[in-house]
């Protein structure tokens, strides 16, 4: 074979190899995240390989081309839990994690629980990793992801996480962040989760972008006993900058999200659809800007009984001009259909956007037409 032709093959297949990996770039606070960068892609074929690649100290571009099922791999636990919402069909019961039933639900009926151990603690993800699904084949069943203890520069894109003990509170979280920086979660679908779909713990998660994800709250077991998941998005870090853009939040009943700690949340161009309860819980320390988003058949935009943080809901075109000083543009109006809106006019926290990477925003009408069709895995 001629040298020139060999050179052609090398350049051709080399460029194909480098093209595998992350699509696009993060907007907003996590702009600049590179994950595994230009590391040669690896293709795990077993659960053990996936765990090893995610948890080692090397920069990695990890491509998922199959389903990884962790159910049954770490055994099961049978014990006594509780039923805070009753024992009727469709109600979640709870694992007595950290004596939660004993300490917080002492009067709840005691029930027997049997759960899969793998779901209760996610796979450790260390720094400089890109985890990317190929097409619609990157699925993780029965175990979530855990980004903690100083891990940084991580991209999770185009995967599905599903079936984490959905009948039990404390059955597992899909994606956990705690003591992190520069994390981008993009085009991920989460479904049938026991506890939180995405949780940012009490330590600082710093710069995070959560974009184009499908939070699927449809379930046969819920804390509200109605098939609408209650534990969804929990943002309570001590120093968090969260861009939440282009996400589709479906069939929930609460905490979508719950915001507190010291969290600056920019919620832009999201689509909340079908809620039997509320979307935002505004706890002390929350600083929330909501713009260009759609709330359709979504119950209450804000749980009004306990608003103790700050929220700006882009209430009208005149008030929205206040965004210009710190975001460089006016904020976009939200849209409501069969939803109880909330007029939040707090602007005292706008100063915290100064000097940060700010996501762009389009009109709510654009989000309504595009987000349901573009959010989640298999949509890149």
C-alpha closest to that of 162 among 95, 111, 214, 209? 214
Write b or e for each residue in 331-346: b if 16 or more Cβ atoms lie within 10 A of its Cβ, otherwise e: bbbbbbeebeebebeb
Please identify which residue in the block is written with the tokens 């956007």: 353
Please identify which residue in the block is written with the tokens 């349901």: 372
User: Is 356 buried (19+), middle (13-18) or exposed (0-12) by CB count in 10 A?
Assistant: middle
Name the pairing type of β-strands 76-82 and 110-116: antiparallel
CA distance 41 to 112: 45
CA distance 81 to 149: 30
Max CA separation in the chain (angstroms): 80
- Can 207 be counted among the known catalytic residues? no
Choose, from 146, 195, 207, 255, the residue flagged as catalytic. 255
CA distance 92 to 142: 17
> Which residues are annotated as catalytic?
255
């Amino acid at each position: 074979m001629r040298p020139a032709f060999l050179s052609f093959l090398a350049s051709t297949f080399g460029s194909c190899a480098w093209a595998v990996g992350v699509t696009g770039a993060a907007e907003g606070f996590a702009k600049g995240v590179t994950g595994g960068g230009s590391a040669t892609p690896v293709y795990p074929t077993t659960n053990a390989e996936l765990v090893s690649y995610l948890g080692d100290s090397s920069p990695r571009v990890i491509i998922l081309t199959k389903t990884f099922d962790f159910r049954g791999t770490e055994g099961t636990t049978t014990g006594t839990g509780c039923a805070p919402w009753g024992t009727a069909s469709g109600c979640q019961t709870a694992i007595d994690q950290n004596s939660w039933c004993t300490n917080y639900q002492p009067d709840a009926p005691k029930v027997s629980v049997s759960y899969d151990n793998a779901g209760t603690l996610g796979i450790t993800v260390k720094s400089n990793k890109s985890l990317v699904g190929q097409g619609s084949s990157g699925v993780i069943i029965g175990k979530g992801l855990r980004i903690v203890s100083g891990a940084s520069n991580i991209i999770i894109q185009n995967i599905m996480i599903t079936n984490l003990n959905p009948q039990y509170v404390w059955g597992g979280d899909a994606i956990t962040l705690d003591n992190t920086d520069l994390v981008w979660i993009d085009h991920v679908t989460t479904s049938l989760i026991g506890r939180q779909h995405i949780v940012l713990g009490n330590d600082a998660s710093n710069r995070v972008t959560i974009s184009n994800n499908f939070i699927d709250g449809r379930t046969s077991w819920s804390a509200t006993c109605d098939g609408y998941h209650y534990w969804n998005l929990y943002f309570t870090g001590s120093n968090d900058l969260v861009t939440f853009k282009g996400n589709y939040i479906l069939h929930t009943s609460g905490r979508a999200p719950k915001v507190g700690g010291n969290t600056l949340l920019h919620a832009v161009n999201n689509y909340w659809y079908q809620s039997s309860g509320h979307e935002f819980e505004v706890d002390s320390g929350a600083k929330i800007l909501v713009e260009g988003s759609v709330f359709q058949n979504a119950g209450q935009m804000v749980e009004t009984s306990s608003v103790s943080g700050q929220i700006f809901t882009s209430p009208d075109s005149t008030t929205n001009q206040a965004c210009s000083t710190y975001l460089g543009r006016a904020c976009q109006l939200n849209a409501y259909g069969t939803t109880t809106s909330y007029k939040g006019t707090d602007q005292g926290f706008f100063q915290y956007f100064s000097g940060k990477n700010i996501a762009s925003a389009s009109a709510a009408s654009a989000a309504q037409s595009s987000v349901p069709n573009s959010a989640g895995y298999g949509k890149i």
